[in-house]
Amino acid sequence: MTNAEITPAPNFIRAIVEEDIKTGKWDGRVVTRFPPEPNGYLHIGHAKSICLNFGIALEYGGTCHLRFDDTNPTKEEAEYVQSIQEDVRWLGFDWGANIFYASDYFEQLYECAVRLIKKGKAYVCDLSPDQMREYRGTLTKPGKESPYRNRSAEENLDLFSRMRAGEFPDGSRVLRARIDMASGNINMRDPVMYRILRAHHHRTGDKWCIYPLYDFTHCVSDSLERITHSICTLEFEDHRPLYDWFLDELEVYHPQQIEFARLNLTYTVMSKRKLVELVDAGHVRGWDDPRMPTISGMRRRGYSPESIRRFCEVIGVAKRNSTVDAALLEHCVREDLNRKAPRVMSVLRPLRVVLVNYPENREEELEAINNPEDPAMGTRRVPFSRVIYIERDDFREDPPKQFYRLAPGREVRLRYAYYIKCVGVVKDEKSNEVIELHCTYDPETRGGSSPDGRKVKATLHWVSAAHALQAEVRLYESLFLTPTPGEQKGGDFKADINPNSLVVLNSCRVEPGLADAAPGDSYQFERQGYFCVDPDSSPTRLVFNRTATLRDTWAKIEKGLQRS
RNA sequence: UGGGGUGUCGCCAAGCGGUAAGGCACGGGUCUUUGGAACCCGCAUUCGGAGGUUCGAAUCCUCCCACCCCAGCCA
């Protein structure tokens, strides 16, 4: 852990928590919760919330509950509660025994509803959904009171229990809070607390045919769990008066709801609807496609939990709508992987090189450093022979000004090996494409330095043709071409999809040492980037995903060259 | 036209009446057997705008402007 990681940045929520601890508002307790609805996969936006809630609990010696907000059986599935737990755990957080389900509170919620009915604060309403919308009024016009609003408590109690008993068809009646149809805040215009819905629930089965709605459920759940700080996103700010109203009327333990801005990232989309669309339309291979901003996608892409946690720390927490530059996320993985990923040589687009003065049947092993950032990671031996592969991009027949890699007549260093000089270029007769290079090597430069002290400008990675392993490498770019997809083009985010977001290279050659690389392992392919082994990989067919490229100064220069 | 929010560098973000932190990005340099990493330097006389209060304002007051959210029996 870096120092920065254990020194959290100040933000307004931490300030509130610290103040509360100081004043003893909650007797010094800190209890937060991460309350996902199990209706989809977690993404980097959820990670921000997870890090915030679990992070604050950890930091102030409190606890953070994992609570599934499972009050809508038509959308929720057990499969998701599984994947959510996996993702939270993978991110590095532990809820201990504190795993809860809103559905566990159904009986208590029902009792709370009965209490409100008895108080005259809730009533059964027979308006149809259409009528209800009509009666609600608009943003600028107040609503009208329902004709059922003044039913007696006895009648409401009777009706509500019969709703539960299944005497009425789906959607025929609801239980509503009796608040204020003229409120400027539409959430306070007698919001629905319960609906009749005959659907199989992933945990309660067919026990219930009425289900509570979010506003009623959430505050009561928080109260039952004695949450201190109920942290949610900005769109719930308008719901806070309702959160407070329910708890005040119920006269129960009352946590404080605090809202923060959700995360947006450039060059991607975050809404569940859009993510579903990408998967369904086949623009990606699934929820865990390495191009997806889902936790499972990022995991497959090679992002480490540490890098995601670090990212969530450096972006900060505030109430301003913002869109974080994807470059910051990239920076966070590089920072982490630079310290941890073993270096390895791998040639993505091979160009055959014959060392004409190297003995035909000779081979040798050269020592290579596993990670210059961490000597403790040791060294390894890499085989070398007369025929090697280098990267096609590392040779130019007619090199531009600032290109100082290999070119006819030019000498460069092969990393950990020898200096070589290009003495011949073999081309395909028809296409005129360069298919092979002839080079001489200098036996005096074994290991990569010359006794006469002469310098070479470039160091190339390479792989011995006879020893290298074939591999498939999947190169990823951002899923979208524009920083905020759909901003132009009439809001159609799919029009901004990057057609080159995935490029598959099939004839890559990697160091033989990679033979037993296991899915999930991360490496730095020297001079190219960070790559990890995909679950599709097998001993007979290695498959790597590019997590991120290395910062590439030459690419920048080249781009500038093209422009001028 | 109702209600709730937010406006500090290209992107995030500290700051809470005492004279604009930090990160990313960007530009320049040192070093280098990764054009990587590391390191150094530069990068808001100014805080949405206009007034006002004050010895002193990004921070307090007034007005204005811009943007975001809300009319599911979703969460």
Structure letter (DSSP) for residue A393: G
CA A504 – C1' B35 distance (Å)?
A: 25
Within a domain: A265: no
Amino acid at A209: C
Separation between Cα atoms, residue A46 and residue A34, nearest integer Å: 9
Among candidate residues A237, A260, A283, the one where a domain is terminated: A260
Please tell me which residue lies nearest to nucleotide B23, judged from CA to C1': A314
Query: Which positions in strand B are less than 7 Å from the protein's CB atoms?
Result: 1-8, 10-16, 21-27, 33-38, 67-75
Within a domain: A140: yes
Does A338 lie in the same domain as A392?
no
Separation between Cα atoms, residue A291 and residue A545, nearest integer Å: 10
Does A235 lie in the same domain as A248?
yes
Instruction: Name the catalytic one among A115, A149, A203, A262.
Output: A262
Q: What is the mean pLDDT of residues A128-151?
A: 98
Cα-Cα-Cα-Cα torsion A522, A276, A215, A49, nearest 10 degrees, comes to: 20
The vertex-A352 CA angle with A348 and A355, nearest 5°, equals 130
Separation between Cα atoms, residue A348 and residue A545, nearest integer Å: 12
Does A210 lie in the same domain as A82?
yes
The predicted structure's pLDDT at residue A489: 66
Within a domain: A377: yes
Separation between Cα atoms, residue A276 and residue A360, nearest integer Å: 57
CA A492 – C1' B29 distance (Å)?
A: 45
* A451's tokens: 């006794």
Among candidate residues A461, A487, A504, the one where a domain is terminated: A461
Among candidate residues A4, A103, A88, A44, the one with its CA nearest the CA of residue A326:
A44
Reported as a single tens digit per residue, the pLDDT across A494-523 is: 999 999 999 999 999 999 999 999 999 999
Q: What is the ipTM metric for this complex?
A: 0.97
The structural domain count of chain A equals: 3
The predicted structure's pLDDT at residue A346: 98
Domain containing residue A409:
346-461
CA A320 – C1' B46 distance (Å)?
A: 21
Cα-Cα-Cα-Cα torsion A414, A420, A421, A422, nearest 10 degrees, comes to: -70
Does A335 lie in the same domain as A373?
no
The predicted structure's pLDDT at residue A4: 38
DSSP lists the bridge partners of residue A257 as A230
Does pLDDT of A338 surpass 90? Answer: yes
Within a domain: A226: yes
Identify whether A37 is a catalytic site residue.
yes
Q: Which nucleotide minimizes the distance between its C1' and the CA of A37?
A: B75
Reported as a single tens digit per residue, the pLDDT across A344-385 is: 999 999 999 999 999 999 999 999 999 999 999 999 999 999
Residue A435 belongs to a domain with what CATH number?
Answer: 2.40.240.10
Residue A10 belongs to a domain with what CATH number?
Answer: 3.40.50.620
Does A442 lie in the same domain as A388?
yes
Q: Which nucleotide minimizes the distance between its C1' and the CA of A125?
A: B73
Beta-carbon neighbour count of residue A201 at 10 Å? 20
Q: What percent of chain A has pLDDT over 70?
A: 98
Reported as a single tens digit per residue, the pLDDT across A90-112 is: 999 999 999 999 999 999 999 99
Beta-carbon neighbour count of residue A431 at 10 Å? 8
Q: Which nucleotide minimizes the distance between its C1' and the CA of A338?
A: B37
The predicted structure's pLDDT at residue A256: 98
- Residues listed for chain A: 564
CA A541 – C1' B32 distance (Å)?
A: 35
Among candidate residues A212, A232, A260, the one where a domain is terminated: A260
